[in-house]
Every structure is written in C-alpha cells, then in structure tokens.
Structure 1
C-alpha cells in the first residue's frame, strides 16, 4: 500500500513538472514571436532588407524544375530551417503553387 502512495505521489509530481515546463516553454515561444515581430518592424522602419542566403539560386532552379523535395532539402541545408518552414519558403518562390 505504501508503494502505491509513493507511485501516485511521483506521478503527481511528474505531471506538475511537465505542466510547469510546458507553460514556461509556451511563454518563451510567445516572447520570441513578439521579439521577432518587433525586429521586423524595426527593420522595415529603417528600410533594411534581410539579405538572401547564398545558394538560393540553386533552390529556385530545383523548384522551377519541379524537384520540390530537393529544393526543400537544399533550403534546409542553406538556412538551417525546419521542414515546415523550408516547405513554405519553397512554395512561396512560386506564388501560383502556394495559392
């Protein structure tokens, strides 16, 4: 019976820790999003455009040839972006496809 109480207590503590960490990560992600939006506004106000990474011509050529998977893979190699971000970026290269 004692073992059962210990296990229940451990599960409760693990649940509390998990929820606390999840809430903290969500708060940090929200702050990062806010900072990114603010930085975008500052760059727009100053008229500064983010430079395009080297190698984007290769990504465009791959996408133009219909080799989307290769284009996404190359974009990820160049930028370090995640899969979803890379797919959105490659799709955005051809506005007709992203519609």
Structure 2
C-alpha cells in the first residue's frame, strides 16, 4: 500500500513540475513577443494607449493602487499584470527625469 501511495505522490510531483516548466517557457515567450510588439509599435510610431496618461498622473500623485485598479479595469489585466504594467510606467517616469 505504501508503494502505491509513494508512486502516486511521485507521479503528481512529476506532473506538477512538467506543468510548471511549460508555464515558465510560455511566460518567457510572451515577454519576448511583447518586446517585439513594443519595437514594432515604436518603429511605426503607433501612439500608446491613451489610458497611460491618466495612469502616469495617478502614479505622480502617489496613487499606485488606484493606478493598478484602473489599469486592470481598462486593459483587462490580472492583479499581477496590472502591478507589472504600473511598475513599467513608473520606471519610464524615473528614466525620463
């Protein structure tokens, strides 16, 4: 009986590890694709999303949480994606100074 339980636990661990590695690969591919999209948009002079101006204003006012909430509502992002989006805008503001 113990061998069956150990075998099941080992199988579950292998499946979880496999899914985790695939997710990591997908995230890396998505980041690469986003970089390519950003480069294309810059090259073609495509204007950025108009919501960014409002988000930058909220960031300058120190209302990061409201900025994340607004980004999530307007862009359909998850909480983590919204936080990363706002962090990226914050870094751009710091670099511009």
Separation in 2, partners of 1:80, 1:38: 21
Greater C-alpha radius of gyration: 1
Separation in 2, partners of 1:61, 1:41: 25
- Identify unmatched segments of 5+ residues in structure 2: none
**What's 1:31 paired with?**
29
**What's 1:80 paired with?**
76
**What's 2:43 paired with?**
45
Alignment check: 8 A CA contact 1:63 1:71 kept: yes
Q: Name which of structure 1's ranges 68-77 and 29-38 shifts more when overlaid on structure 2.
A: 68-77
Judged with a 3 Å threshold, the aligned counterparts in structure 2 of structure 1 residues 67 and 32 are, in CA distance, closer, same or farther, namely: closer
Whose relative contact order is higher, 1 or 2, with alpha carbons under 8 Å and at least 6 apart? 2
Output the TM-score relative to the length of structure 2.
0.68
- Identify unmatched segments of 5+ residues in structure 1: none
Q: Name which of structure 1's ranges 80-89 and 37-46 shifts more when overlaid on structure 2.
A: 80-89
**What's 2:20 paired with?**
22
Q: CA RMSD in A?
A: 2.9
Output the TM-score relative to the length of structure 1.
0.67
Q: Following TM superposition, by how much is the alpha carbon of 1:61 offset from its aligned partner in structure 2, in angstroms?
A: 5.6
Give the total of aligned pairs: 93
Q: Following TM superposition, by how much is the alpha carbon of 1:48 offset from its aligned partner in structure 2, in angstroms?
A: 1.4
Alignment check: 8 A CA contact 2:56 2:90 kept: no
